[in-house]
Structure 1
Amino acid sequence: MGSEDHGAQNPSCKIMTFRPTMEEFKDFNKYVAYIESQGAHRAGLAKIIPPKEWKPRQTYDDIDDVVIPAPIQQVVTGQSGLFTQYNIQKKAMTVGEYRRLANSEKYCTPRHQDFDDLERKYWKNLTFVSPIYGADISGSLYDDVSTQGPPRDSGGMRDAW
């Protein structure tokens, strides 16, 4: 199973990158177990680059009614290098409502020169605008896996990380 070499069990907690074959990608939960065995979970996330044969969903026009049961608002307070972060569970919302919120003036991507500039703006504004995440949703927004391969519901990864 393929990944970039990050050493045994990822002691530095770096974000690891993986490039599964189509065969590995078809059993996504097994692949997640593999990347966890390599220490990917230590960073809290991993980058998985799908194989060239995999095709993404053709359209997302039909998902506006999908419910995000418990969106999380991340609140960060503090100053001078000492910060506290806590999560507030918000009321359920649909993907359509979430999309409108994400595209609103308050939450939309700020103007930026490059990704380093965007990342600086994210960290600079984190204590002023609390991000809202729609994570930990069961199921999948991807097309049928029987012909494409994953990622479908990967509860193991979601529960462990």
Structure 2
Amino acid sequence: KDSDSDEYKSVSCASEAVRRESRRRTRMSDSEKITGISGEEERLLTIAIKNSLREKNAKPVIELNEIEEMMTYRPTEDEFKDPLVYIENLYKEGASEYGCIKIIPPASFKPPCPLSKDSTMKLPSRYQTIQKMGQGKPFDFNSDGITLSDFKKKDLGTTTYESLVSQKKYDELEKMFWDFVENTESEEINVEYAADLPRNTYGTKEFEKDDKPYEDHPWNLNKMHLRHNSLLQFC
């Protein structure tokens, strides 16, 4: 009897575990329908927000002017011909120790803008509140979009920006930015911008004859996976 009882309890516990797992999966499924993200993504997002708030409330350990500039490389015309060879050479020189680096192309590298100045196509834009950047909150989207001409008509704060840039006060400009990020009680500053737009979808200008080399240029990120020995071909 005791054996039968123990077996019954085991079956009951297993059944209850299955029911709990089923309810958990159902809740996750409903959550995914509402938010569009999986349970694992939601968990990681929650962790990211907590870490962001923890960093926000922590006292800064160094001043802005004590932060070193990112390591910058300026390849020659010849070095710029093959991105993978150039990056591999940088790795051999120890560039990986910096975590991230900046590569500035030669002055002759001037790819054309794929968007026509007279384009009437509406581009999807994003809204970002500077004071909320440290809170791990997602962007707001302008799904209706905005044309390039209408975008230019908006007051983008270019007067202050151009004034500081003309005086080469880049440090002051950057300090203003981080002051806004950290001072969450100040008047909100909303930035609208359109970025990360695929050329195949929003490009309105065909490559002209003189611009054709840029379409197949080795540094064209859309085609870098086609380069020999590129690990991107496995993605």
Tell me the TM-score normalized by structure 1.
0.52
1:88 aligns with 2:155: no
Aligned to 2:6: none
Deviation at 1:136, TM superposition (A): 0.6
Deviation at 1:21, TM superposition (A): 4.0
Q: Number of aligned pairs?
A: 135
Letter of the structure 1 residue corresponding to residue 140 of structure 2: I
Q: 1:75·1:88 contact (CA, 8 Å) conserved in 2?
A: no
Q: 1:69·1:93 contact (CA, 8 Å) conserved in 2?
A: yes
Distance 2:82 2:122 in 1: 25
1:131 aligns with 2:191: yes
Q: 1:90 to 1:147 in 2, by over 3 A?
A: closer
Deviations 1:97-126 (A, max 9, x none): 23333xx1x532524351111112223345
Q: 1:19·1:51 contact (CA, 8 Å) conserved in 2?
A: yes
More displaced 10-residue stretch of structure 1: 112-121 or 140-149: 140-149
Structure 2 unpaired stretches of 5+: 1-68, 225-235
Q: 1:58 to 1:153 in 2, by over 3 A?
A: closer
Q: 2:131·2:180 contact (CA, 8 Å) conserved in 1?
A: no
Alignment of 1:53-132 (within 5 A): 54-56=108-110, 62-65=116-119, 67=121, 69-77=123-131, 83-86=134-137, 87-91=139-143, 92-101=145-154, 104=155, 107-110=157-160, 111-112=163-164, 114-126=169-181, 128-132=188-192
Q: 1:64·1:94 contact (CA, 8 Å) conserved in 2?
A: no
Deviation at 1:146, TM superposition (A): 0.9
Structure whose residues are more often strand by fraction: 1
Q: 1:76·1:85 contact (CA, 8 Å) conserved in 2?
A: no
CA RMSD of aligned residues (A): 4.7
Letter of the structure 2 residue corresponding to residue 94 of structure 1: T
1:51 aligns with 2:106: yes
Identity %: 23
Q: 1:72·1:134 contact (CA, 8 Å) conserved in 2?
A: yes
1:144 aligns with 2:199: no
